[in-house]
Structure 1
Amino acid sequence: MATYVLVHGGGHGGWCYGPVARILRAAGHEVHTPTLTGLGERSHLLGPHVDLDLHIQDVSAVLHHEDLREVILVGHSYGGMVVTGVADRMAGRVGRLVYLDAATPANGQSLHDVAGPVIDAARPFGEVVDGVELVLLPAPGAGAFYGVTDPGDLAWMDERLTPHPWKCFEQPLKLTDEEALRAIPQYHIVCTSTLATRDPALIERARAEGRLWDIDTGHDLMITEPRAVAGALQEVATR
């Protein structure tokens, strides 16, 4: 039995992993799907204090208080920033690190540094509420921005997506123990369409070492292809 901690991306919440989590739990695995502060069912905690560092603390606290070890730590999209920070700070509890069509930052990089054109396109449609700049504002059919096309999935997402603080996207990641972080085996599950935008050396090395899966679907692949994602995650546990 493996232990998974699945971290969502911008504007989402732990809810987005529901289909994947059900498959993994049915196979006997332990699965945690924390929601980051200010998002999803924790959107009432939104405020000027919410940033990347706080989200790293959110997930680190789950590992600590649940006493989780040899965790398969998974981050989707912006969640790649978060899980990199968590693995850096809690390397002794992380057995494998999985980037699910996610940002793969270096020390000192922000999400804006990694994926500037994509999030810059969303920023003009944001707003400032109580002094907090918010982006990825929910709207009918907003799931299409994440590559979701099924009407049922889009309606499900319409009821759950929440705005995301821009501050999280511009704060640089500060690593404290890169040697320990790099010693953790890293895996990549990506959308076929995003392969060309990724670091070629990183992708080719992962492919050569059997640490790469590409799935031909939209960015929210945990929603559009939950069985393929769950299958890849179970393979990660056996590698």
Structure 2
Amino acid sequence: MATYVLVHGGGHGGWCYRPVARLLREAGHEVHAPSLTGLADRAHLVGPHVDLDLHIEDVRALLHAEDLRDVVLVGHSYGGMVVTGAADRAADRVGKLVYLDAATPAAGESLVDVAGPIIESTRPFGEVVNGVELVLLPAPGAGAFYGVTDPETVAWMDDRLTGHPWKCFEQPLTLTDEAAFRAIPQFHVVCTSTIPTRGPELIAEARAEGRLWDIDTGHDLMLTEPRAVADVLLEIARA
């Protein structure tokens, strides 16, 4: 039995992994899909203190509180920033690291550094609420921004998406034990359309080592192609 920890991206919550989590559990595995502080079911906790470091601590604390070991740690989109930091700070608990169409930062980089044009384009449409600058604000049909086209799924997302503190996107990632982090096997599951935007060396190396999968779908691939994503995650656990 494998243990998966699935970390969501900006504006989302643990809810976005529901279809994938169901498939993984049906295959006999343990699955945790937490919502990060200030988002989804934890949106009431949003405040000036919410940043990338806090989200990294959310995941690190979960690994320790639940005594999880040899975890398959998965991050989607902004969640790539979070799982990189969490794997660095709890390397002894992470067996495999999976980037699900996610940011793959180096030490000292922020999400703005990694995905500048895309993430910067969201800022003009944000607003300050109770002293917190929020972006990715929910709006009818917002699921289309994430590559979701099914009307029922988009409507389901409309009821669950929440604004995301901009502070999380501009805070640089700090690595505390890069050697231990780099020793964790890393796998990449990307949308076919995003491959040209990714570092050619990273893609070439991952492909040559059999650690790259691409799925021809929208950015929220865990919602648009849950079976394909679950199958890849099951394959990675067996690797």
TM (normalized to structure 2)? 1.00
**Residue equivalent to 2:54:** 54
**Which amino acid in the other structure matches residue 88 of structure 1?**
D
Q: Does 1:85 align with 2:85?
A: yes
**Residue equivalent to 1:159:** 159
Deviation of 1:122 (Å): 0.7
**Residue equivalent to 1:6:** 6
Q: Deviations over 1:189-221 (max 9, x none)?
A: 000000000000100110111100000000000
Deviation of 1:133 (Å): 0.4
C-alpha distance in structure 1 between counterparts of 2:176 and 2:123, whole Å:
30
**Residue equivalent to 1:30:** 30
Deviation of 1:229 (Å): 0.2
* 1:57-206 alignment, distance < 5 Å: 57-206=57-206
Q: Deviations over 1:26-77 (max 9, x none)?
A: 0000000010000000000000000000000001111000000000000000
3-state secondary structure, aligned to 1:28: coil
C-alpha distance in structure 1 between counterparts of 2:30 and 2:120, whole Å:
37
Identity within the alignment, %:
79
**Residue equivalent to 2:238:** 238
**Which amino acid in the other structure matches residue 25 of structure 1?**
R
**Which amino acid in the other structure matches residue 46 of structure 1?**
V
3-state secondary structure, aligned to 2:102: coil
Deviation of 1:238 (Å): 1.0
Deviation of 1:6 (Å): 0.1
**Which amino acid in the other structure matches residue 33 of structure 2?**
T
Deviation of 1:93 (Å): 0.2
C-alpha distance in structure 2 between counterparts of 1:176 and 1:45, whole Å:
27
C-alpha distance in structure 2 between counterparts of 1:129 and 1:119, whole Å:
19
Q: Deviations over 1:62-116 (max 9, x none)?
A: 1000000000000000000000000000000000000000000000000000001
**Which amino acid in the other structure matches residue 155 of structure 1?**
A
Unpaired stretches in structure 1, ≥5 consecutive residues: none
C-alpha distance in structure 1 between counterparts of 2:56 and 2:163, whole Å:
18
3-state secondary structure, aligned to 1:102: coil
**Residue equivalent to 1:219:** 219
| Structure 1 stretches of at least 4 aligned residues deviating more than 4 Å after TM superposition | none
C-alpha distance in structure 1 between counterparts of 2:119 and 2:109, whole Å:
15
Tell me the matched-pair count.
239
C-alpha distance in structure 1 between counterparts of 2:28 and 2:208, whole Å:
30
Q: Does 1:15 align with 2:15?
A: yes
C-alpha distance in structure 2 between counterparts of 1:137 and 1:238, whole Å:
38
**Which amino acid in the other structure matches residue 23 of structure 1?**
L
C-alpha distance in structure 1 between counterparts of 2:234 and 2:206, whole Å:
17
C-alpha distance in structure 2 between counterparts of 1:156 and 1:108, whole Å:
36
TM (normalized to structure 1)? 1.00
**Which amino acid in the other structure matches residue 142 of structure 2?**
A
**Which amino acid in the other structure matches residue 18 of structure 2?**
G
